Copies of this chain bind each other. A is one copy, B any other.
Amino acid sequence: MKFKIKKNVLQEKLNDVSKAISSKNIIPILTGIKFELTKERLILTASDNDITIETYIEVDKENLTVDKVGSIVIKGRYILDIVRKMNSEYIDIEVIDGNKILIYNSNSEFNLNGINVKEYPVINLDLTTDPIVISKENFKMLINKTSYAASNDESRIMLTGIDFKINDNILECAATDSYRLAYIKLELDNKYKNIEVVIPNKNLLELMKLVTDSEGNVEIHIFSNKVIFKFDEIIFQSRIISGTAGEYPSISKLISENSNFVVTINKYDFYGMIDRASILNNDRDNNIVTLEINKKDMKITSMSLEIGKVEETYVIDCSEKIKISFNSKFMLDSLKTIDTENVKLFFIDEIRPIILKEENNDNLLQLISPTRTY
């Protein structure tokens, strides 16, 4: 293998695939990045067995010229640092004596021990013929508006994922840790067969780092045990959480319940009130604040015997009465994903969840369970 490549291009692509490398991987070969050079392109692959990322650079005079095709596996952490810190426009890379890699320009020469590509696991990244197609912008929106509500608790593995459910031309995404829930519905341009998968939230967060703000689509290829996302020059594969079909909690009942009354309030004002009310117990796991509406007066209160108490007051356009307590962190997380100036709060009673929606958008719904206080 021997080629000359533009430093910035290689650096960007190495950055992309390196998202799949875990420094804690117990399989040594997976700390490496696989380089495969053909006459047409340089293909880079990295995997931690949970996610796999593949990308490529096309051969052309400006970016990549090939002297001799071949392949090798290079330790990920070093190659990234080396390429970033080399100070020339182009870098030469060459395999010598079987598994030695030379990386050089006119003043620097790195001589690294590589690993034979035969030792790298075979990863099948074949695609389906009927991917779900969705714009990058919408895809990012789906994840950004649900991801925060997924659980980190591995003992309830199903809740550590985001549920994707396709029915005809409707895509529904949901995430819940059983205390709160985020749900979003999106109309697709085409019709697809019905399918439901739960994809690990942490993998989707890695994927988010790669999906740029540029125009274009994401193709979602769903298999029985994995899912592949394809966009730009990137293929991103993730396992899915097994036993998915129908095992994710049913949320349709939760999100269809009729509310008793609704309060519309400026999002920033409401965020500020909750944020201040939680100062005095922001180091606790259960960061409880109480919201009380009494005619046109909304109060948010919180207290800690040791430290003191807070009371926030706000005039609202609502003549109802309710007193309900909840985890302030959950409310702040939800409000962060609201993109409208005002947020709508739907109340049933003090033991049923509060529902949040954006103004004029019924496709996004968030739900926060109240906390019992004594």
State the A residues within 8 Å of B (CB). 75, 78, 81-82, 85-87, 100-101, 107-113, 272-273, 275-276, 279-280, 282, 306-314
Contact = CB atoms under 8 A, between A and B. Distances in A.
Contact of A107 (B108, B109, B113, B313): B313
Given A81-B279, A107-B314, A308 B87 contact: no
Contacts of A101: 308
The 10 lowest CB-CB distance pairs between A and B, nearest first, are A112-B308, A81-B279, A109-B311, A85-B276, A111-B309, A111-B308, A110-B310, A113-B308, A107-B313, A108-B312
Contacts of A311: 108-109, 111
Given A78-B279, A78-B280, A280-B78, A85 B272 contact: yes
B82 A276 contact: yes
Contacts of A309: 110-111
Nearest to A87: B272
Contacts of A113: 306-308
B78 A307 contact: yes
Contacts of A273: 107-108
User: How many subunits of this chain does the assembly comprise?
Assistant: 2
B86 A276 contact: yes
Contacts of A85: 272, 275-276, 279
11 contacts: A81-B282, A82-B276, A82-B279, A86-B276, A108-B273, A108-B312, A109-B311, A110-B279, A112-B280, A113-B306, A113-B307
A310 B111 contact: yes
A302 B101 CA distance: 16
A69 B107 CA distance: 70
A81 B312 CA distance: 15
B279 A310 contact: no
Given A110-B279, A111-B309, A112-B307, 6 more contacts: A78-B280, A81-B282, A85-B279, A108-B311, A108-B313, A113-B306
Contacts of A272: 85, 87
Nearest to A275: B85
Contacts of A86: 276
Contacts of A306: 113
Contacts of A82: 276, 279
A202 B311 CA distance: 40
Most chain B beta carbons < 10 A, residue from A82, A86, A275, A310: A310
Nearest to A282: B81
A114 B312 CA distance: 20
A117 to B, nearest CB: 18
A110 B75 CA distance: 55
Contacts of A78: 279-280, 307-308
A167 to B, nearest CB: 44
Given A272-B87, A276-B86, A310 B108 contact: yes
A310 to B, nearest CB: 5
